[in-house]
Amino acid sequence: MGKVTRFDPHHRRGRRQGRRVAGYRKQAPRSSRNRRRTWGRALSGARPFLLLVGLIAVAVVLRDGAAFEPPAYLQTEPEWVDGQFTRCGPGRGHYCVFDGDTFKLGDRKIRVVGIDTAEVRARCPAEAAQAEASTAALQHWLNRGPFAMTARIDDPTDRYGRNLRIMKRKAPDGTEDRLADFMRNEGGARRYLGGYRGGWC
């Protein structure tokens, strides 16, 4: 009588399961958190460049670099100025003031970024009075002591060839004394964001 092989339903299933378990490698799913971290690091490194591109794009659209002040890390190294400013006119000094948003350093004309003031060549008495007050305020701020000038890192000029600059100094109490803020608060200047300038009459 031949050898009888008894059928064990669990025998083969167990072996099959064993092979499946032994040969199976579960692949860990990629973490969405890790992907977010990778993208976050990439964007963080590119942020200054992207911001500069954005600022330049805005300037191109507005065609006026005097409209906004960039973050400090997108500005040039400070240029320090120390001198007594007079009113501009024939034979009047190395440092002089044209109006409430423009002054002169030697052969350079400097335009204050972020403000607009009344024109000296006024269209009405009200504009002439405001222009005089703004010019006096600018001269007063410039003569209060040394100050730093910075520019956007691509060093723009306006359509009149004026250097566009940000002016500031440290106040005695340690705070930052910014020319544009002073002119808006004390000199009758308007915040300038590019484009159309309103009238003063």
Per-residue model confidence as pLDDT tens digits over 87-131:
998 877 789 999 999 999 999 999 999 899 999 988 999 999 999
Using the predicted structure, report yes or no on whether residue 135 has a pLDDT greater than 80.
yes
Residue of 155, 152, 166, 147 whose CA lies nearest to 75:
152
The C-alpha atoms of residue 161 and residue 148 are separated, in whole angstroms, by 21
Label residue 61 left, alpha or beta by phi (over 0 means left) and psi (-120 to 50 means alpha).
Answer: alpha
Given this model, what pLDDT does residue 30 score?
57
Residue of 157, 173, 151 whose CA lies nearest to 74:
151
Neighbour count for residue 140 (Cβ, 10 Å): 14
Question: What is the overall mean pLDDT for the chain?
Answer: 80
Q: Could you tell me the pTM of the whole model?
A: 0.66
| Percent of the chain whose pLDDT exceeds 70 | 69
Candidate ranges 11-15, 17-21, 42-46, 161-165; pick with highest mean pLDDT: 161-165
Average pLDDT over residues 78-88: 95
Using the predicted structure, report yes or no on whether residue 6 has a pLDDT greater than 50.
yes
Given this model, what pLDDT does residue 61 score?
41
Average pLDDT over residues 55-79: 68
Given this model, what pLDDT does residue 4 score?
53
Least confident of 6-10, 92-96, 146-150, 172-176: 6-10
Given this model, what pLDDT does residue 62 score?
46
Q: With the C-alpha atoms ordered 183, 184, 185, 187, is the resulting torsion angle positive or negative?
A: positive
Question: Which helix or strand (DSSP H or E) is residue 115 part of?
Answer: strand 115-116
Using an 8 Å Cβ cutoff, are 89 and 96 in contact? yes
68 or 128: which leads in pLDDT = 128
Q: Which domains does the chain have, with CATH numbers?
A: 47-191 (2.40.50)
Question: Which helix or strand (DSSP H or E) is residue 177 part of?
Answer: strand 176-178
Q: How confident is the model at residue 58 (pLDDT cuts 50, 70, 90)?
A: low
